[in-house]
Amino acid sequence: MANSILSSLTSVFTSSGFTAITWQSCVMWALALGLLYLAIKKKFEPLLLLPIAFGIISANLPMTGLMEPGHGLLWQFYAYGIKSEVIPPIIFLGLGALTDFGPMLSQPRLIFLGAGAQVGVFVTFFGAHLIGFNLSEAATIGIIGGADGPTTIFLATKWAPHLLGTVAVAAYSYMALVPLIQPPIMKLMTSEEERKIRMKPSRKVHPLEKILFPIISAMLLILLIPASAPLMAMFMLGNLFRESKVVERLVEASQNELMNIATIFLGVSVGATMNAENFLSPKVIFVFFLGLAAFGVSTASGILIAKGINLFSKDKINPLLGAAGVSAVPMAARVVHKVGTEADKRNYLLMYAMAPNIAGVIGTLIAAGVFVSLLK
Amino acid sequence: MEEVRAPMSGNVWKIDCAEGDTVSLDDAVIVMEVMKMEAEVFATADGTVAEIKVKEGQAVEEGDLLITINT
């Protein structure tokens, strides 16, 4: 009797997951716990890092079949949500509904700063390729420099799915670290005098301009780079919802319910792709390093473009605004404002910084579209 | 009479002065909230606060009059 109880207990134990734990899964759990700490305690992009981290924990539990192709639960979230390229465009619909293009339309020349920040994306692309990543991996790593989560995920899924979790974690961590990464570069590259430059008051934007902008720019940009269509079309549709002022319910749904639901499935399935096999390779260290470099170069090139414009223009641009060209919205704009007020407490750069910031989002979308067409 | 105007569009978060208070140039008199960020608005001259034109929580546009100061 005692014997048979013992043997059934043993069989419960041997069929449990405990016997199948490997050191690799322990490393992944430790990483996930670290991310949970950053998300919960330090409030690092918690809306994404928290579900990503839990996805990592779940997917690295042995014998669950959660990521088994065909019927695993998390695999189905991944396959139908991300691999099918549905969720990132839905997130962009919400971002469009949240975005006010007003500051950008009132200072159109600041758009160039948003374009300038894409230099980091391409420099890192070439850099990553030089040190041995293939073209599609290099493109995926470069786009981290654009500081745009959904775009990074979109591109990674298409071209380097084995790097998906890694680049997503790198992108979201660096976005949370923008207030630490950017200011030293910004201060190094500008003089006290330049940081004190005050911008001219911006012109008022007519409501009709705001309605026409998403329609016209969606058509023009998609005609120019057809591969950017899935993200661009949804982004501009969301913005048209907002600016038309006649579909308040759709604006609310896009900004809140729809985007929140999409974010849950995005986070957990991105996390679930991070298994030990994909993540515990020396390449990953390079991905994080190159991603950081991409951020730095993007920040610097935005500032340089602003200084370049100042050589020719009578109305000087505060070069700090160039740093807002990375599309971490609105974090990068806040950082610009903060560094600006340190030099002159009456210099209110926030709304001006939103111009390159928003332009940076469009710029990163275009850069992703360029990569997709190049790699075809 | 000096005027303190809103440097950006946003909400009045905190009013750090009362009518009749003595203020000096560059004292923070109002804290605004713009895109979840606090931004201080400073007195434009030495003097006494003549009139506060806004309430806490009120939405203001760039250039709206916030406070007048008797110099």
pLDDT digits (tens, 9 = 90+) for A221-259: 999 999 999 999 999 999 999 999 999 999 999 999 999
Q: How confident is the model at residue A4 (pLDDT cuts 50, 70, 90)?
A: confident
Is the peptide bond prior to A88 cis by the omega test (within 30 degrees of 0)?
A: no
Rounded mean pLDDT of A258-275?
95
How many other CB atoms are found less than 10 A from the CB of residue A192?
10
Indicate yes or no: CB of A350 within 8 angstroms of CB of B35. Answer: yes
Across A113-136, average pLDDT: 94
**Interatomic CA distance for residues A289 and A145, integer angstroms:** 11
The answer to whether residues A337 and A330 touch, using CB atoms and an 8 Å cutoff, is no
Please provide the average confidence, as pLDDT, over all residues in chain A: 94
Q: Which residues of chain A lie closer than 8 angstroms to B9, CB-CB?
A: 351
Half-sphere exposure of B33 (CA within 13 A, CB side): 10
Q: What is the pLDDT of residue A256?
A: 94
Residue A14: what pLDDT?
Answer: 84
Q: Cα–Cα distances in Å, from A101 out to A232, A286, A328, B41?
A: 14, 36, 15, 25
**Cβ distance of B62 and A334 shorter than 8 Å:** no
**pLDDT value of position A210:** 97
B8, B29, B33: best to mutate for the A interface, most A CBs within 10 A: B8
User: What is the strand order of the sheet B47-52 is part of?
Assistant: B2-5, B65-70, B47-52, B22-23
Task: Please indicate if any CB of chain B lies within 8 Å of the CB of A348.
Answer: yes
The domain spanning residue B48 has which CATH number? 2.40.50.100
Query: For residues B5 and A368, what is the distance between their CA atoms, to the nearest angstrom?
Result: 42
Chain A residue at shortest CA distance from B32: A348
Query: Is the predicted pLDDT of residue A368 greater than 90, yes or no?
Result: yes
User: Is there a contact between A351 and B34 if contact means CB atoms under 8 Å apart?
Assistant: yes
Comparing CB atoms, the residue among A330, A350, A354 nearest residue B39 is A350
List pLDDT tens digits, range A276-294: 988 998 889 999 999 999 9
Better-predicted residue by pLDDT, A9 or A134: A134
Residues in A touching B34 (Cβ below 8 Å): 350-351
Span A174-195, average pLDDT:
95
The count of structural domains within chain B is 1
Count of A–B CB contacts within 8 Å? Answer: 28
Contact A168, A278 (CB under 8 A): no
Instruction: Give the separation between CA A119 and CA A220, rounded to whole angstroms.
Output: 22
Cβ-based contacts of A333 with chain B (< 8 Å): 35
**Chain B interface mutation, best of A98, A348, A357, highest count of B Cβ atoms under 10 Å:** A348
Best CA proximity match to A336, nearest among A299, A301, A311: A299
Residue B35: list chain A partners with CB under 8 A.
330, 333-334, 350, 354
Predicted confidence at residue A238, as pLDDT, reads 98
The predicted pLDDT at position B36 comes to: 81
**Which B positions 30-69 lie with beta carbon below 8 A of chain A?**
34-37, 39-40, 42, 62-63
Q: What is the pLDDT of residue B6?
A: 94
pLDDT exceeds 90 at position B17: yes
pLDDT of residue A7: 87
Using one digit for the tens of pLDDT, what is the confidence trace for B35-58?
888 999 999 999 999 999 999 999
Shortest CB distance from A350 goes to which of B26, B37, B40?
B37
Q: Is A98 on the interface with B (CB under 8 A)?
A: no
- Which pLDDT score is estimated for A6? 86
pLDDT at A85: 92
How far apart are alpha carbons A288 and A88 in whole angstroms?
22
User: What pLDDT, on a 0 to 100 scale, did the predictor assign at position A109?
Assistant: 93
pLDDT, tens digit (0-9, with 9 covering 90-100), for A309-352: 999 999 999 999 999 999 888 899 999 999 999 999 999 999 99
Distance from CA of B65 to the nearest CA of A (A): 16
Q: pLDDT digits over A216-230, tens only?
A: 999 999 999 999 999
User: What are the C-alpha distances in Å from A148 to residues A151, A329, A332, B20, B50?
Assistant: 6, 9, 12, 49, 48
Interatomic CA distance for residues A95 and A42, integer angstroms: 24
Contacts of residue A157, Cβ cutoff 8 Å, sequence gap at least 6: A82, A83, A85, A88, A164
User: CA-CA distance, A263 to A242, in Å (whole number)?
Assistant: 20
The answer to whether B50 and B68 have CB atoms below 8 angstroms apart is yes
pLDDT at A376 (0 to 100): 81
Q: List pLDDT tens digits, range A66-99.
A: 999 999 999 999 999 999 999 999 999 999 999 9
| Percent of chain A at pLDDT exceeding 90 | 86
* pLDDT number for residue A335: 95
Whether chain A has a CB inside 8 Å of the CB on B21: the answer is no
User: Residue B20 sits in which domain range?
Assistant: 2-70
User: Hey, what long-range contacts does A239-244 have (CB within 8 A, 24 or more apart)?
Assistant: A239/A96, A239/A97, A239/A99, A239/A101, A239/A213, A239/A214, A240/A96, A240/A211, A240/A214, A240/A215, A241/A96, A241/A97, A242/A96, A242/A97, A242/A98, A242/A99, A242/A100, A243/A101, A243/A207, A243/A210, A243/A211, A243/A213, A243/A214, A244/A211
Residue A112 CA: distances (Å) to CA of A67, A187, A358: 43, 21, 11
CB contact under 8 A, A334 and B9: no
Residue A147 in contact with residue A178, Cβ under 8 Å?
yes
